[in-house]
Amino acid sequence: MIKRGIMLCLGLSGLCSTNACASVAYMEKAGQPPREYQEWLKDLQEEMHDKGISTATLGKAFAKNYYHPKHKVVEKDRNQAEFIMSSTEYLNRLVNRQRVEKGKQKYKEIRSHYQKVEKDYGVPLNYLVAFWGMETNYGKSFGNHEVIEALTVLSYDNRRPQFFRNELYQALKIIDNGNITVEGMEGSWAGAMGHFQFMPSTYNAYAVDYDKDGKIDIWNNYGDAIASAANYLQSIGWKRGEPWGMEVTLPWNFDYTKSGREIKKSIKDWEKSGVRKNNGKKLGLNAELKGSIIVPEGYKGQAYLVLDNFDKIMQWNKSENYALGVSLLADYVKSGKAWQARQNKSQKEKISNEDILELQKFINQHKIAQITEDGQLGSKTRTAIKKLQKKAGFPADGYPSIRLINKIKNFDEKIGFSVPLQPQKPHRKPNKTRSEIKKK
């Protein structure tokens, strides 16, 4: 590795510009970056060149010193909220009055210009406007980080180096193809770019030249940006003409072990089990469509029936709350209805990442499931929590409550779960049958 680095800087491989080599020598003399970083950077450049990135692009991309022992993008990558936001809090914060009104305005502005995008790709414009609003607040905030710098620093960091190293290569390809300059390629701290915050690999796989001007510009050309977003969604299987789902009410005796996106049933079967619209009416969807019931805040919170296109939204961002945000914002944008703050039906508990981590450790330790201990409430953790709740005598909705956390903190290895706490009754009243209504 050291030999390769020396050859690189001496110019024997022809990759390092005079300015870049002088920069490396100055950094070493000034004691800014450690020698390990300098050697790593030389090795990185040689690898990128071997993959086909030009000497000119490498010279421009790495002319600056990107090293800092406490770089801000690393701090952002490490930063996690002290407390996990509830679904209601998240939705009220991101799908707020201002964003809804702006979304309805933008939808009216672009409809006549980009109906062809909807027709060609089968993705309704109201969804594309919702993604736009959630990602960059309708183009107001692309991020102010130089993407090459951010990805270089994150490639050197030890948390997800291979992922970011590949994204760095993809970003260099974009520059090499002449679509954007090093300075013009700005984005988020993690390297997401443009109106719809594409990662470089997503750009290279799905971005399109909508106006056929020979350049794919997702930063300054909105046509390219929205068509690229539509192309991505179509490519991953967006189902033309199908909704994302809807908010629903559940029967009093609903089996919460049947909740979660991994469990799919037909609309006919969900209706047989008592699932209804919020107004109590039947779901009004094709009986053969398949969907799932999700309860982001547990059995006390709001329930949703989600269909296949909801799963496609989650391929964009693997957060149920994010997908709900896009879905509900898309509904507002199309319907024109006035925004309403969501009421928190669940208990107002503050669950921290440390609480989730403690649950994950307990689940692994007691062989209830085998999950990653990362303090994140992902789908695998929710499924494992269901199993834990069932053993502990709780409604198995996959939502971690303070009550459950306290139970594992005071867990007695001798007694185990032989004397479970009594399950709480769901708060919903049972739906009345027709015969009961007639008797009244």
Three-state SS letters, the chain? CHHHHHHHHHCCCCCCCHHHHHHHHHHHHHCCCCHHHHHHHHHHHHHHHHCCCCHHHHHHHCCCCCCCCCCHHHHHHHCCCCEECCHHHHHHHHCCHHHHHHHHHHHHHHHHHHHHHHHHHCCCHHHHHHHHHHHHCCCCCCCCEEHHHHHHHHHHCCCCHHHHHHHHHHHHHHHHCCCCCCCCCEECCCCCECCCCECHHHHHHHCCCCCCCCCCCCCCCHHHHHHHHHHHHHHCCCCCCCCCEEEEECCCCCCHHHCCCCCCEEHHHHHHCCCEECCCCCCCCCCCCEEEEECCCCCCCCEEEECHHHHHHHHHCCCHHHHHHHHHHHHHHHHCCCCCCCCCCCCCCCEEHHHHHHHHHHHHHCCCCCCCCCCCCCHHHHHHHHHHHHHHCCCCCCCCCHHHHHHHHCCCCCCCCCCCCCCCCCCCCCCCCHHHHHHC
pLDDT at 434 over 50: no
Q: Which of 103, 118, 120 is nearest to 330 (CA)?
A: 103
Q: Which CATH class is domain 351-409?
A: mainly alpha
pLDDT at 7 over 60: no
Of 48-52, 287-291, 294-298, 345-349, minimum mean pLDDT range:
345-349
How does residue 25 score in pLDDT terms, banded at 50, 70 and 90? very low
pLDDT at site 382: 92
Q: Which of 141, 236, 133 is nearest to 192 (CA)?
A: 141
pLDDT at site 157: 87
- The whole model's pTM is what? 0.84
Burial 312-324 (b: 16+ CB within 10 A, else e): bbbebbebbbbbb
Q: Which residues pair with 351 in a beta bridge?
A: 84
Instruction: Quick: pLDDT tens for 124-182.
Output: 999 999 999 999 999 999 999 999 999 999 999 888 899 999 999 999 999 999 999 99
pLDDT at site 86: 86
How does residue 432 score in pLDDT terms, banded at 50, 70 and 90? low
pLDDT at site 181: 95
Find out whether 215 and 178 touch, Cβ atoms under 8 Å: yes
pLDDT at site 397: 93
CB atoms within 10 A of CB 433: 9
Q: Which of 387, 418, 386, 423 is nearest to 403 (CA)?
A: 423
Domain with CATH 1.10.101 in the chain: 351-409
Instruction: Quick: pLDDT tens for 244-259.
Output: 999 999 999 999 999 9
Q: Which residues pair with 113 in a beta bridge?
A: none
pLDDT at site 67: 81
Find out whether 32 and 62 touch, Cβ atoms under 8 Å: no
pLDDT at site 410: 87
Of 20-24, 130-134, 137-141, 408-412, minimum mean pLDDT range:
20-24
Can you read off the two tokens belonging to residue 103? Answer: 């979304």
Find out whether 197 and 181 touch, Cβ atoms under 8 Å: no
Q: Which of 50, 6, 52, 48 is nearest to 25 (CA)?
A: 6
The mean pLDDT of the chain is: 86
